[in-house]
Structure 1
Amino acid sequence: MNYGLNDRMPLFPLLLYGLQWLVISIPSIIILGAVTASMNQEGAAQQILYIQKLVATVGGGLIVQMLWGHRLPLVMGPASVLLVGIISATAARADAVNTAIVLGGALLFGLGISGMFDKVQSVFTPRIVVVILALIAFTLSPVIVRMLFGRTTDVLFNFILALSLSLVMIYLNNRLPGMWRSMVVFMGLVVGTTVCFLVKGPQFPAEIGSVSAFSAHWFDFTFQLDGGVLLSFLFCYMALILNELGSIQSVGQQIKADKLNERSRRGISVTGLFNSLSGLLGVIGPVDYSLSPGVIAATGCASRFPLIPAGVGLIMIAFMPSWLVFISAIPEVILGTILLYLMGSQLTAALQMMAREKSVSSFNSGLIIGFPLMVALVISFAPEQALAELPPLIRPILGNGFVMGTLTVLLLEHVIFKDEKKSF
């Protein structure tokens, strides 16, 4: 290892490694940010403003994590599990969603600083974690389908492009060494967009010139409490905690960092704080990503300090919206393809954990995993007119495949098959 966790370095290597982390961070922010912005904002100018706020929030969160949070070399990005909550609450006002994100972040912050988080961990058995990881991928499937085929007549072109690009990214992920593997998503984004531009031509919205570096609309929060939306997001934050913990533990164990439990509590506290800030700004909340182990192994740099200039770079980009204009021209089929690849990776992580923990050793233990996934799939693909018949208060819960899948696995694991857990 060239640089350890707390090793400082000369300015040039610091900036060079910082640029590397910046380039690795940007694709996830662009992809999930663009998907969420297209669902929440009308017009390209508003969508780019959404991305600006998201990039600035992630950059600020990254800096605070390096200085006062977990202080581990981990990149941040939008939490895909919160996208599940946003999708399920499309019938509710944006103010209710933002309020739920503020309160969910406050809950995380409270769990982190109070020390109560250690007691919460006992709920998450390996089988429940496997199901939650898989649920994120399964419940985002309808979104992927709509992005690939929902708004176009070029179904054959989109299908061939999505399948080909996904397979190419899988091949590159298998063949490229260390750090380059972390660039696969960015490569796929560039190559896929280029192919679409060559076939269909680029399309930049006319109103793009109205984007400004700073706007009064950065801060436009109205408190609106919706019980159904809030409960739905609380389940999403259960999964976000698992994501955060897994990222911290994986990198911490790789570089043999000390006081991992304390780092986890501080990391969760900072993540909660910046989720609340995200809600106030009206954007999706961030979480730490588990991309770092491969990058650290490839570069030999485990120092946390290069991520500080990376965070500064993100904040600078946020206030230069002309750099973000190209986001408005990324074809929806490419965003859907990248999301397909990412959710395939998410499902792979669930299957790896299931094998590693030997989570399925009997019919009943398999049912604990399989049945909640089927419940989630049925709800996720249920006709919109059927979900519209549900009472508004409970629609974000009963109409949310992720929430119902999580409730089902908790019921099976801790109630119905409680007495059989040891025999599994």
Structure 2
Amino acid sequence: MTLLNVPSYRYGLEDRPPRWQNLIYGLQWLAITVPLIIILGKIVARIHFTDPMAQITYLQKLFFITAVMLLIQVYWGHRLPLVTGPAAILLVGIITNAGSPMDAIYSSMMVCGFLLTIFSATGWFTYLKNLFTPRVVAVILLLIAFTLIPTIMNLVIAPEAEGSPLQHLLFSLLLLLVVVALSQRLSGLWKSTLIIWAMLGGSLTYYLLFPQGPSESAQVPFLASFFRDVTFHVSLEPALIVSMLLCYVALVINDLGSIQSVGKMVLADRMPVRISRGVKVTGLVNLLSGFLGIIGPVNFSLSPGVIASTSCASRFTLVPAGVFLFVIAFSPKLIQYLGNIPPVVIGTLLLYIMCSQVATGLRIVFESTDPLSMDNGYIVGLPMMLATVVSFLPPAVTASFPALVRPILGNGFVIGVLAVIILEHIIFRTEDLERG
């Protein structure tokens, strides 16, 4: 496979830069990937475990599975310069179903990963494509951000950390304003790696403002394998599978959009084949993620900015990043150092990341026909309101729901997705037909 001649790129899709340059490019990709793994991984690890060593082991598995997907995609999947990492939408699924046993949650991910692989291998996506109109896609993108608000709020307030909730809130607002201001003024690689600088600068500032008392840190070896901690038992709950399946619908939309945007940018050939292989690899690796008991990965949409800033479209520049991710996966001591990020900083940066999600969703809405119509208002607004209400229901209320339907009725994202599909394809479709 060859890339069409694109004179604006120093290295094309199939070019191999010199070793030292390839290493530098790989480190740039690594600088983008590591913060996202740490931010999302620490949130999920804290939900599942209170033991610091168990949290580090979870992050080891997450670094490992990200490296596996990255290298398989580069050499066999979509074969594009496209970075991967844990999927934010699966974070939504895990948080909203946190009351379910871990084995049931990750068994559901295994089932969904298997179905995703089958759909991509058989071409069933063509039958589902009409279901995801621009308004449905926009609402799904918005729902991912809005249903994470309770989690972001708890991270920002951080009642268990040094300082008062008000101090944490003020710190978070100031950090967010600084990050947004820098994102508007920086360009090129500095803008692409803004998250890692914000993570480092924010953590340093936090510890200067809120000095931490002496604490006993876990004795962590420098090198250690996590395979001995893989103990998995299949536990299938139909309602939980349905709940996670709707989360995977959003994951597929993200995956397809990322592959298509990068493929278009580098003028890659045989895009239908690349998309089919890329989604198939995503499904298989998510199946493996479920077996390992960790959040599944997805292809990120951050790659076009990196390609534009470096003028390098070679897929082989991601290979060093994948190798470094493997090294980090077997170095718990390094992960311990990387994971010393205050919850307030994690919550603030997650809020910043979700802002781009909201911007993308709103852009799709305003690019549609008659974006300010009442129909658009109901189709977009009602699912958002329902999802927000369900997301803020007290745990005692959701616990009172029947166990069989709790993963559906207690999941704001699922309620929002079902609502927008009903509004788009049943209620307002009927009105459109009557008007016609």
- TM bin, normalised by shorter chain, reads over 0.9
Tell whether the 8 Å contact from 2:61 to 2:226 is kept in structure 1 after alignment: no
CA distance in 2, matches of 1:45, 1:103: 28
The answer for unaligned runs of 5 or more in structure 1 is none
Alignment correspondent of 1:197: 207
Q: Which residue does the alignment assign to 2:18? A: 10
* Residue 412, structure 1, aligned to residue 423, structure 2: yes
Q: What is the correspondence of 1:18-417 to structure 2 with a 5 Å cutoff?
A: 18-152=26-160, 154-202=164-212, 206-210=216-220, 213-358=224-369, 360-417=371-428
Structure 2 gaps of 5+ residues are 1-8
Q: For 1:325 and 1:57, how far apart are their aligned partners in 2? A: 18
Structure-2 separation of matches of 1:252 and 1:364: 34
Shift of 1:199: 2.1
SS of residue matched to 1:77: strand
Tell me what 2:3 maps to.
none
Q: Deviations over 1:277-302 (max 9, x none)?
A: 11111100000101111111111100
**Partner letter of residue 154 of structure 1?**
S
Which amino acid in 1 is paired with 2:14?
N
Aligned-partner residue type, residue 25 of structure 2: Y
Offset from partner CA, 1:30-81 (integer Å, 9 cap, x none): 1001111111122110001000000010011000000110111110010000
Q: Is the 8 A contact 1:413 1:421 kept in 2?
A: no
- Structure 2 distance, partners of 1:347, 1:51, is 27
Q: In structure 2, what is the Cα distance between the partners aligned to 1:335 and 1:12?
A: 33
| One-letter code aligned to 2:51 | G
Decide which moves more: 324-333 or 102-111: 324-333
Offset at residue 156 of structure 1 (A): 2.0
Alignment partners' CA distance in 1, 2:191 and 2:339? 26
- Separation in 1, partners of 2:415, 2:215: 39
Partners in 2 of 1:210 and 1:7 — Cα distance?
Answer: 41
Q: Distance in 2 between matches of 1:258 and 1:358?
A: 31
CA distance in 2, matches of 1:147, 1:18: 31
Give the AA of the match of 2:382.
F
Query: Are the equivalent residues in 2 in contact too, given 1:117–1:265 (CA < 8 A)?
Result: no
Deviation of 1:361 (Å): 4.6
CA-to-partner distance for each residue in 1:352-374, whole Å, 9 max, x for gaps?
A: 12122346252122211110000
Quote the RMSD (CA, aligned, Å): 1.7
CA deviations on 1:115-161 (whole Å, 9 max, x unpaired) are 11222222100000000000000000000111111524612211111
Cα shift at 1:203: 6.5
Asked if structure 1 preserves the Cα contact closer than 8 Å seen for 2:147 and 2:413, the reply is: yes
- How many residues align structurally? 424
More deviation, 330-339/232-241: 330-339
Sort the Cα spacing of 1:359 and 1:218 in 2 relative to 1 into closer, same or farther, 3 A: farther
Moved over 6 A (4+): none
**1:63-102 per-position Cα deviation (integer Å, ceiling 9, x unaligned):** 0000110111110010000011101111110000110111
Question: Distance between the aligned counterparts of 2:314 and 2:364, measured in 1?
Answer: 28
- Matched residue type, 2:16: R
Q: Which moved more, 1:186-195 or 1:395-404?
A: 186-195
Distance 2:372 2:32 in 1: 39
| Structure 1 length-normalised TM | 0.96
Percent identical across equivalent pairs?
A: 44
Secondary structure in 2 aligned to 1:206?
Answer: coil
* Change in CA separation of 1:224 and 1:216 when aligned onto 2, cut-off 3 Å: same
Shift in Å at residue 197 of structure 1? 1.2
> What is the TM-score when the length of structure 2 is the normalising length?
0.94
Change in Cα spacing, 1:414 to 1:199, as seen in structure 2 (3 Å) is: same
Q: Report the CA distance between 1:241 and its aligned residue.
A: 0.3
3-state SS of paired residue (1:29): helix
Amino acid of the structure 1 residue aligned with 2:211: G
